[in-house]
Amino acid sequence: MKDGLALRRLFIAANWKMNTIRQEATELIRGIKDRMGSVSAVDIMVAPPFTVLESVGRELLNTRIQLGAQDVYFEKSGAYTGEISPGMLVDAGCTYVIIGHSERRQYFAENDEMVNKKVMAGLKSYLVPILCVGESWEERKQGKTFFVLNQQILFGLQGIDNHDLSSLVIAYEPVWAIGTGKSATIEQAQEVHAYLRNVIQEFSSREVAEAVRILYGGSMNPNNARDLLSQRDVDGGLIGGASLKAETFSTLVEIAEEVQRWKHHE
Ligand code: PGA
Protein backbone atom coordinates (compact mmCIF):
# COMPACT_ATOMS: atom_id res chain seq x y z
CA MET A 1 0.00 0.00 0.00
CA LYS A 2 1.41 3.35 -0.98
CA ASP A 3 0.15 6.44 0.81
CA GLY A 4 -3.34 5.04 1.42
CA LEU A 5 -3.89 4.52 -2.28
CA ALA A 6 -4.41 0.78 -2.21
CA LEU A 7 -7.35 1.08 0.16
CA ARG A 8 -9.62 2.53 -2.46
CA ARG A 9 -11.11 0.29 -5.12
CA LEU A 10 -12.01 2.02 -8.34
CA PHE A 11 -15.74 2.41 -8.77
CA ILE A 12 -17.51 2.67 -12.11
CA ALA A 13 -21.09 3.88 -11.74
CA ALA A 14 -23.69 4.21 -14.49
CA ASN A 15 -26.33 6.92 -14.37
CA TRP A 16 -28.95 6.03 -16.96
CA LYS A 17 -30.92 9.22 -16.19
CA MET A 18 -34.41 9.32 -17.75
CA ASN A 19 -33.71 6.61 -20.31
CA THR A 20 -34.96 3.09 -20.95
CA ILE A 21 -38.33 1.42 -20.78
CA ARG A 22 -38.41 -2.16 -19.54
CA GLN A 23 -37.36 -3.95 -22.69
CA GLU A 24 -34.50 -1.55 -23.39
CA ALA A 25 -33.33 -1.74 -19.79
CA THR A 26 -33.33 -5.54 -19.85
CA GLU A 27 -31.38 -5.64 -23.10
CA LEU A 28 -28.86 -3.10 -21.83
CA ILE A 29 -28.24 -4.82 -18.51
CA ARG A 30 -27.94 -8.23 -20.17
CA GLY A 31 -25.43 -6.78 -22.60
CA ILE A 32 -23.41 -5.36 -19.72
CA LYS A 33 -23.65 -8.54 -17.67
CA ASP A 34 -22.49 -10.71 -20.55
CA ARG A 35 -19.34 -8.65 -20.92
CA MET A 36 -18.43 -8.59 -17.22
CA GLY A 37 -17.15 -12.12 -16.90
CA SER A 38 -13.61 -11.59 -15.70
CA VAL A 39 -13.95 -8.27 -13.89
CA SER A 40 -12.96 -8.53 -10.25
CA ALA A 41 -10.84 -5.57 -9.22
CA VAL A 42 -13.36 -2.74 -9.54
CA ASP A 43 -16.79 -2.03 -8.09
CA ILE A 44 -19.63 -1.51 -10.52
CA MET A 45 -23.07 0.03 -10.10
CA VAL A 46 -25.94 0.88 -12.42
CA ALA A 47 -28.63 3.41 -11.56
CA PRO A 48 -31.62 2.97 -13.85
CA PRO A 49 -34.92 4.88 -13.56
CA PHE A 50 -37.20 3.88 -10.65
CA THR A 51 -39.65 2.09 -12.96
CA VAL A 52 -37.09 -0.52 -14.01
CA LEU A 53 -35.21 -0.94 -10.73
CA GLU A 54 -36.90 -4.19 -10.00
CA SER A 55 -36.46 -5.75 -13.45
CA VAL A 56 -32.82 -4.65 -13.68
CA GLY A 57 -32.25 -5.84 -10.11
CA ARG A 58 -33.56 -9.26 -11.02
CA GLU A 59 -30.98 -9.49 -13.83
CA LEU A 60 -28.25 -8.57 -11.37
CA LEU A 61 -28.85 -11.37 -8.88
CA ASN A 62 -25.65 -13.37 -8.41
CA THR A 63 -23.55 -10.86 -10.31
CA ARG A 64 -20.96 -8.39 -9.01
CA ILE A 65 -22.91 -5.42 -10.30
CA GLN A 66 -24.74 -3.38 -7.67
CA LEU A 67 -28.03 -1.58 -8.09
CA GLY A 68 -28.47 2.12 -7.35
CA ALA A 69 -31.16 4.78 -7.63
CA GLN A 70 -30.86 8.26 -9.09
CA ASP A 71 -32.56 10.10 -6.25
CA VAL A 72 -34.42 9.55 -2.97
CA TYR A 73 -36.73 11.49 -0.68
CA PHE A 74 -35.75 12.03 2.94
CA GLU A 75 -38.99 11.07 4.68
CA LYS A 76 -39.75 7.49 5.63
CA SER A 77 -43.33 7.34 4.33
CA GLY A 78 -46.51 9.37 4.16
CA ALA A 79 -48.27 11.98 2.06
CA TYR A 80 -45.48 12.93 -0.34
CA THR A 81 -47.07 12.29 -3.71
CA GLY A 82 -44.59 11.15 -6.30
CA GLU A 83 -41.68 10.59 -3.94
CA ILE A 84 -39.67 7.44 -3.17
CA SER A 85 -38.31 6.65 0.31
CA PRO A 86 -34.96 5.11 1.26
CA GLY A 87 -36.78 2.02 2.54
CA MET A 88 -38.49 1.57 -0.83
CA LEU A 89 -35.12 1.66 -2.57
CA VAL A 90 -33.68 -0.95 -0.22
CA ASP A 91 -36.78 -3.06 -0.80
CA ALA A 92 -36.22 -2.77 -4.57
CA GLY A 93 -32.66 -4.08 -4.12
CA CYS A 94 -30.62 -0.87 -4.14
CA THR A 95 -27.37 -0.47 -2.25
CA TYR A 96 -26.42 2.97 -3.63
CA VAL A 97 -28.26 6.22 -4.25
CA ILE A 98 -27.12 9.21 -6.28
CA ILE A 99 -27.90 12.43 -4.38
CA GLY A 100 -27.72 16.08 -5.43
CA HIS A 101 -26.99 15.53 -9.11
CA SER A 102 -26.62 18.91 -10.83
CA GLU A 103 -29.70 18.19 -12.96
CA ARG A 104 -31.72 17.84 -9.75
CA ARG A 105 -30.22 21.04 -8.37
CA GLN A 106 -30.79 22.88 -11.66
CA TYR A 107 -34.24 21.69 -12.77
CA PHE A 108 -35.85 20.61 -9.50
CA ALA A 109 -34.57 23.32 -7.18
CA GLU A 110 -32.68 20.99 -4.86
CA ASN A 111 -30.58 22.93 -2.43
CA ASP A 112 -27.80 21.90 -0.05
CA GLU A 113 -30.22 21.54 2.85
CA MET A 114 -32.36 19.02 0.98
CA VAL A 115 -29.27 17.27 -0.27
CA ASN A 116 -28.00 16.96 3.30
CA LYS A 117 -31.33 15.51 4.49
CA LYS A 118 -31.26 13.00 1.65
CA VAL A 119 -27.69 11.94 2.47
CA MET A 120 -28.66 11.45 6.13
CA ALA A 121 -31.83 9.55 5.25
CA GLY A 122 -29.96 7.32 2.83
CA LEU A 123 -27.32 6.46 5.42
CA LYS A 124 -29.96 5.68 8.02
CA SER A 125 -31.36 3.01 5.70
CA TYR A 126 -27.86 1.64 4.98
CA LEU A 127 -27.80 2.97 1.44
CA VAL A 128 -24.45 4.33 0.26
CA PRO A 129 -24.98 7.91 -0.93
CA ILE A 130 -23.11 9.16 -3.99
CA LEU A 131 -23.07 12.88 -3.28
CA CYS A 132 -22.67 14.94 -6.45
CA VAL A 133 -20.97 18.32 -6.41
CA GLY A 134 -19.76 20.57 -9.21
CA GLU A 135 -19.40 24.14 -10.39
CA SER A 136 -20.99 25.79 -13.42
CA TRP A 137 -18.93 27.31 -16.21
CA GLU A 138 -19.83 30.81 -14.98
CA GLU A 139 -18.57 29.96 -11.50
CA ARG A 140 -15.33 28.52 -12.87
CA LYS A 141 -14.76 31.60 -15.04
CA GLN A 142 -15.26 33.83 -12.01
CA GLY A 143 -12.72 31.87 -9.99
CA LYS A 144 -15.38 30.53 -7.62
CA THR A 145 -14.85 26.81 -8.21
CA PHE A 146 -13.33 25.98 -4.84
CA PHE A 147 -15.73 28.22 -2.95
CA VAL A 148 -18.77 26.55 -4.56
CA LEU A 149 -17.43 23.05 -3.98
CA ASN A 150 -16.52 23.85 -0.41
CA GLN A 151 -20.08 25.00 0.32
CA GLN A 152 -21.64 21.99 -1.38
CA ILE A 153 -19.45 19.58 0.57
CA LEU A 154 -19.70 21.31 3.95
CA PHE A 155 -23.48 21.73 3.81
CA GLY A 156 -24.08 18.42 2.09
CA LEU A 157 -22.18 16.48 4.74
CA GLN A 158 -23.22 18.44 7.81
CA GLY A 159 -23.87 16.29 10.88
CA ILE A 160 -22.53 13.06 9.41
CA ASP A 161 -20.17 11.11 11.65
CA ASN A 162 -16.75 9.81 10.65
CA HIS A 163 -17.82 6.22 10.37
CA ASP A 164 -20.57 7.05 7.86
CA LEU A 165 -18.33 9.51 6.06
CA SER A 166 -15.70 6.94 5.25
CA SER A 167 -18.21 4.73 3.42
CA LEU A 168 -19.55 7.60 1.39
CA VAL A 169 -18.89 8.26 -2.29
CA ILE A 170 -18.45 11.78 -3.70
CA ALA A 171 -18.85 12.55 -7.40
CA TYR A 172 -17.18 15.64 -8.78
CA GLU A 173 -19.19 16.59 -11.82
CA PRO A 174 -18.37 19.97 -13.33
CA VAL A 175 -21.72 21.11 -14.75
CA TRP A 176 -20.06 22.34 -17.95
CA ALA A 177 -18.69 18.86 -18.64
CA ILE A 178 -21.94 16.92 -18.25
CA GLY A 179 -23.33 15.67 -21.54
CA THR A 180 -21.23 18.15 -23.50
CA GLY A 181 -18.48 15.89 -24.79
CA LYS A 182 -16.02 18.28 -23.15
CA SER A 183 -14.59 16.58 -20.07
CA ALA A 184 -12.38 18.27 -17.50
CA THR A 185 -8.67 17.93 -18.22
CA ILE A 186 -6.71 15.51 -16.05
CA GLU A 187 -5.09 18.48 -14.32
CA GLN A 188 -8.44 20.12 -13.57
CA ALA A 189 -9.88 16.84 -12.28
CA GLN A 190 -6.89 15.96 -10.09
CA GLU A 191 -6.71 19.49 -8.70
CA VAL A 192 -10.37 19.45 -7.62
CA HIS A 193 -10.30 15.88 -6.32
CA ALA A 194 -7.26 16.64 -4.17
CA TYR A 195 -9.00 19.78 -2.93
CA LEU A 196 -12.17 17.85 -2.03
CA ARG A 197 -10.15 15.23 -0.17
CA ASN A 198 -8.49 18.01 1.74
CA VAL A 199 -11.83 19.59 2.67
CA ILE A 200 -13.01 16.23 3.97
CA GLN A 201 -9.78 15.78 5.92
CA GLU A 202 -10.26 19.17 7.56
CA PHE A 203 -13.63 18.37 9.03
CA SER A 204 -12.98 14.69 9.76
CA SER A 205 -9.58 13.03 9.67
CA ARG A 206 -6.88 11.99 7.26
CA GLU A 207 -7.96 8.39 7.62
CA VAL A 208 -11.53 9.19 6.60
CA ALA A 209 -10.41 11.45 3.75
CA GLU A 210 -8.18 8.68 2.38
CA ALA A 211 -11.04 6.17 2.54
CA VAL A 212 -13.69 8.27 0.75
CA ARG A 213 -13.96 7.53 -2.93
CA ILE A 214 -14.17 10.54 -5.20
CA LEU A 215 -15.51 9.81 -8.68
CA TYR A 216 -15.19 12.04 -11.70
CA GLY A 217 -18.27 12.61 -13.87
CA GLY A 218 -18.79 14.63 -17.03
CA SER A 219 -18.26 13.23 -20.52
CA MET A 220 -16.08 10.36 -19.37
CA ASN A 221 -15.65 7.94 -22.26
CA PRO A 222 -13.22 5.24 -23.42
CA ASN A 223 -10.91 7.87 -24.91
CA ASN A 224 -10.30 9.89 -21.77
CA ALA A 225 -11.02 7.35 -19.00
CA ARG A 226 -7.53 5.88 -18.68
CA ASP A 227 -5.88 9.25 -18.09
CA LEU A 228 -8.58 10.48 -15.72
CA LEU A 229 -8.72 7.26 -13.68
CA SER A 230 -4.92 7.18 -13.39
CA GLN A 231 -4.91 10.37 -11.34
CA ARG A 232 -4.06 9.86 -7.69
CA ASP A 233 -7.30 11.21 -6.30
CA VAL A 234 -9.70 10.01 -9.01
CA ASP A 235 -11.30 6.82 -7.71
CA GLY A 236 -13.71 6.06 -10.51
CA GLY A 237 -16.34 7.56 -12.77
CA LEU A 238 -20.00 8.45 -12.78
CA ILE A 239 -20.97 7.81 -16.36
CA GLY A 240 -24.04 9.19 -18.12
CA GLY A 241 -24.14 9.04 -21.93
CA ALA A 242 -21.42 6.40 -22.25
CA SER A 243 -23.29 4.05 -19.90
CA LEU A 244 -26.22 3.61 -22.29
CA LYS A 245 -24.33 1.31 -24.64
CA ALA A 246 -23.30 -2.05 -23.19
CA GLU A 247 -20.10 -2.19 -25.21
CA THR A 248 -18.93 1.30 -24.30
CA PHE A 249 -19.73 0.88 -20.63
CA SER A 250 -17.97 -2.47 -20.52
CA THR A 251 -14.92 -0.95 -22.17
CA LEU A 252 -14.86 1.66 -19.41
CA VAL A 253 -15.00 -1.07 -16.77
CA GLU A 254 -12.14 -2.93 -18.49
CA ILE A 255 -10.04 0.23 -18.57
CA ALA A 256 -10.74 0.77 -14.87
CA GLU A 257 -9.71 -2.80 -14.15
CA GLU A 258 -6.34 -2.22 -15.82
CA VAL A 259 -5.81 1.11 -14.08
CA GLN A 260 -6.74 -0.44 -10.72
CA ARG A 261 -4.07 -3.13 -11.08
CA TRP A 262 -1.54 -0.53 -12.12
CA LYS A 263 -2.41 1.74 -9.18
CA HIS A 264 -2.10 -1.10 -6.70
CA HIS A 265 1.32 -2.06 -7.98
CA GLU A 266 2.64 1.46 -8.00
P1 PGA B 1 -22.29 12.35 -18.93
O2 PGA B 1 -23.14 12.49 -17.58
O3 PGA B 1 -21.35 11.19 -18.77
O4 PGA B 1 -23.32 12.10 -20.00
O5 PGA B 1 -21.56 13.63 -19.14
C6 PGA B 1 -22.56 12.26 -16.32
C7 PGA B 1 -23.56 12.49 -15.23
O8 PGA B 1 -24.37 13.43 -15.35
O9 PGA B 1 -23.60 11.76 -14.24
pLDDT in tens, 135-158: 999 999 999 999 999 999 999 999
- Helix and strand element counts for the chain (H, E): 12, 8
> 11 lies in which domain range?
5-265
**Is the shortest distance between the CB of 220 and ligand 1 below 6 Å?**
yes
- CA 159 to CA 214: how far, in whole Å? 20
Task: Identify the residue whose C-alpha is closest to ligand 1 atom 3.
Answer: 240
Asked if residue 5 has pLDDT above 70, the reply is no
Please state, in angstroms and rounded to a whole number, the distance separating the CA atoms of residues 78 and 66.
Answer: 28
Task: Indicate the helix (H) or strand (E) that contains 131.
Answer: strand 128-133
120 Cα distance to chain centroid: 16
84: which residues sit within 8 A by CB, 6+ positions away?
A: 50, 69, 71, 72, 73
Work out the pLDDT band at 24, boundaries 50, 70, 90: very high
- How many structural domains is the chain composed of? 1
Q: How far apart are CA 84 and CA 226, in angstroms?
A: 36
Residue 132 near ligand 1, beta carbon < 6 Å: no
CA of 100 to the centre of ligand 1 (A): 13
> How high does pLDDT run on average in the chain?
95
Give the atom of ligand 1 at the shortest distance from the alpha carbon of 218: 5
- Cβ(218) – ligand 1 distance below 6 Å: yes
Closest by Cα among 34, 36, 45 to 10: 45
CA 79 – ligand 1 centroid, Å: 32
Question: What percent of the chain is modeled with pLDDT above 90?
Answer: 91
HEC letters along 146-213: HHHHHHHHHHHCCCCCHHHHHHCEEEECCHHHCCCCCCCCHHHHHHHHHHHHHHHHHHCCHHHHHHCE
Say if CB 149 and CB 135 are below 8 A apart.
yes
Is 83 a known active-site residue? no
Report the alpha-carbon angle 227-183-239, nearest 5: 85
Predicted model pTM: 0.96
For atom 7 of ligand 1, which residue has the closest CA?
240
Q: Look at residue 23 and tell me whether its pLDDT is greater than 60.
A: yes
Please work out whether the CB of residue 217 comes within 6 Å of at least one atom of ligand 1: yes
Whether the CB of 238 sits within 6 Å of ligand 1: yes
By the 8 A CB rule, do 135 and 145 touch?
Answer: yes
> Which CATH number does the domain housing residue 52 bear?
3.20.20.70
| pLDDT score recorded for residue 3 | 53
Active site residue 101: yes
CA angle 23, 24, 25 (to 5 degrees): 90
**Ligand 1 centre and the CA of 239: distance in Å?**
5
